[in-house]
Structure 1
């Protein structure tokens, strides 16, 4: 393990991250919202701490190994959550404790969108922008951005990319060089953000809201500048734009790269994961419309409007809201939370276990049924006509088992702190899947739960963002053996 090289990388990345406080500083100057000093102090603290970490080991260079990549990824997300909380802690409005500041920071960076804030409409503009910016940086992964500049730092980036990139197959690259891959992803990500902001602005949002909501839409983060989220605007046009970009951002970004490179969109429908993802959305929307309409919760037109938006928002783990789905009748709240376990596609900004894993699990289950009938037959698991290696299938089952085990342990732990059952299971699902809103006491805000529960949910958010194994591997003795 190259600890001095790792420390050098962390120091550099913390200093780079401190620059993210510049936009809120500019906004604070423009709106005179009283938070300028808070952000200036926060930027100075982050920059100084990064420098202190980097300076003693600035001359240490070397090629990162796989274990180094895992350690840097986990350390950086943990350290970044800590330093990201500094502006919240120093701000005069809102007046947050350290635990609440850390919770809000980790929630933003992991694109969970769970918040402890109330009265969001009245918060300073600089604080609102900072929340959205954290979400945007976390959307594609700040590590992937770092990988793009790794050649400048003299450190190879493939190990970081494998540790950071979501999905069951992490060795694929869009371009021959990993730095070019990261750059390509960020070009696509930035382009989608700009298009989304323009769409919101043309649909009636002001410039500030359009930019802020484009950050959290493309990042599938769910943070908003209003307590009523997207429902604040009461605009079908804005809801349609949000729905479109949530779906687009939940697709595998390799599909977007292919569309950009080959000027074609037909491959979206040819991709089995994308088709299965759209099938999940269609089924969820259909059931929601039927139940809402037949129970007279809304008229049929309004039922369709709310069902489409909420189903897409929850299934993609965005967490935006136009209606309080927690009060919907019968099984709908439970159904929507369950869809978040599938989340977005692999290599997307969505959370959850990823659609491709759910598809592989279903195909594996079907294969086991076929083996009961033909016990000696060799039946490969196929996706898109291609056989999936048994190593990948086994890894998916291992991930699924670990995911559910972690979920159960965290849920029991949350209940042990005094949280009721409905709140506990939905809060763990919402944070582990990087969704945000839950049921019960966390349907709108997490301010009402105790600090012990908040710390556990911070851990759940990190587990979800790093796809469980990246974090859990650090707790195994084998990882630390030479």
Structure 2
């Protein structure tokens, strides 16, 4: 393990992150906030801390090994999650504990959207913008950003990129050079953000809300600048913009690139994963609409369709925006929406969950096993986009699924042991491990009422979900540390 090289990279990345503290400070100053010094103090602390880590090992430079890349990713997300809490702790308007500040910071950075902060409408603009900005940075992965704009690192970036990028197939590149791939992904990401912000403004938001919500929409984060989330605006036009960009951002960004390069939107519907994704969203939405219409839950069919479609898309994409108190919807619908978040978005997107492609492969593998019972001698291959999927990939998907469910069960039992009831514990773990945000029971509105032990466990769950389980668990195995 090349510890000096890892420390050098960590110091550089921390110094890079320190400059993000200046943006909310400027926004707060322009909006007339009384006190923006917490961000100035956080900037100097993080800059000096990064410099102290980097300077003694600045001359160490060599190619990263795979294990080095995993360790850099884990350390950076952990350190960043803790250091991102600094301005929240320093703010006099929040009066927040260390546990709550770290929870909020990790939730934002992992694009989970679970919050412990209430009365958002009364908070300074700088704090509100900072929460949205953290989500935006975490959406595509700040490690990818660093690899794209820090050639000064002097090390290969492929190991960082492989450890950071979500999905079962992580070695496919859009361009020959990994740095160019990272830049391309961020250009697409930035383009979606600009288009989303402009669309929100045209739909009726002011510029502050439009930019802030574009950050959390494209990042599939779910934080809002208002306590009522998207329900604050009571606008079908704004809901429609959110639905479109939640769907776009939860699709594979490599697919967006191919569509743009070949100028063929039809490629979306030729992709097996994206088609299956749309079918699942349509099925959940239709279920909600039919159930609401039978029970006459909403006043009109248009209201029923909008509420059902918005909440289904928001939950399946793991964004976590709300236009209604879905936790109090009738019968099985709240649990259905929570379960739908386990699937999450497509691989290579900013969404959480297990990823659509894994669920699709599990489904196809299940169908194959049923056919094998009928035709034991038949040679049947599982195909994705008309290409056979190697058995090694299928085994990896089954392994991921098993570990995912196992981790979920263990975390749920531990959270219940801390004193939470079954519904709250189930939904809290689902909301954090899937990077979803809102839950049921005591965490239907926010996570402030639960105990500190549960918050630390759920913070760990958020990191597990963001790094797709194995990236974090592999560092905890004794084999990883053997030479």
After TM superposition, the score normalised by the length of structure 2 is 0.99
- What is the aligned residue count? 482
User: Which residue pairs with 1:190 in the alignment?
Assistant: 190
Q: Distance in 2 between matches of 1:199 and 1:89?
A: 34
Q: Distance in 2 between matches of 1:216 and 1:36?
A: 22
Q: Distance in 1 between matches of 2:123 and 2:46?
A: 23
* 2:77 is the counterpart of 1:65: no
- Alignment check: 8 A CA contact 1:150 1:156 kept: no
SS in 2 for 1:60: coil
Q: Distance in 1 between matches of 2:34 and 2:90?
A: 12
Tell me how far 1:37 sits from its aligned partner.
1.2
SS in 1 for 2:342: helix
User: Which residue pairs with 1:301 in the alignment?
Assistant: 302
Q: Distance in 1 between matches of 2:358 and 2:147?
A: 26
User: Which residue pairs with 2:27 in the alignment?
Assistant: 27
* 2:233 is the counterpart of 1:226: no
User: Cα deviation per residue 1:195-221 (whole Å; 9 max; x = unaligned)?
Assistant: 000000011111100000000000000
Q: Distance in 2 between matches of 1:70 and 1:227?
A: 37
* 2:342 is the counterpart of 1:338: no
Q: Distance in 2 between matches of 1:34 and 1:110?
A: 29
258-267 vs 145-154, greater mean Cα deviation: 145-154
- Unpaired runs of 5+ residues, structure 1, are none
User: Which residue pairs with 1:201 in the alignment?
Assistant: 201
Matches within 5 A, 1:378-393: 378-393=379-394
- Alignment check: 8 A CA contact 1:361 1:396 kept: yes
Tell me how far 1:27 sits from its aligned partner.
1.4
Matches within 5 A, 1:47-446: 47-299=47-299, 300-446=301-447
Q: Distance in 1 between matches of 2:261 and 2:151?
A: 24
Root-mean-square deviation (CA, aligned residues, Å) is 0.7
SS in 2 for 1:341: coil
Q: Distance in 2 between matches of 1:182 and 1:196?
A: 21
- Alignment check: 8 A CA contact 1:28 1:125 kept: yes
255-264 vs 46-55, greater mean Cα deviation: 255-264
User: Cα deviation per residue 1:337-393 (whole Å; 9 max; x = unaligned)?
Assistant: 011001000000000000000000011111111111122222111112110011100
After TM superposition, the score normalised by the length of structure 1 is 0.99
Tell me how far 1:95 sits from its aligned partner.
1.0
Tell me how far 1:150 sits from its aligned partner.
4.2
Q: Distance in 2 between matches of 1:451 and 1:149?
A: 38
Q: Distance in 1 between matches of 2:384 and 2:31?
A: 53
- Alignment check: 8 A CA contact 1:231 1:321 kept: yes
- Alignment check: 8 A CA contact 1:150 1:179 kept: no
Tell me how far 1:261 sits from its aligned partner.
1.4
Q: Distance in 1 between matches of 2:480 and 2:372?
A: 37
Tell me how far 1:301 sits from its aligned partner.
2.1
Q: Distance in 2 between matches of 1:146 and 1:44?
A: 20
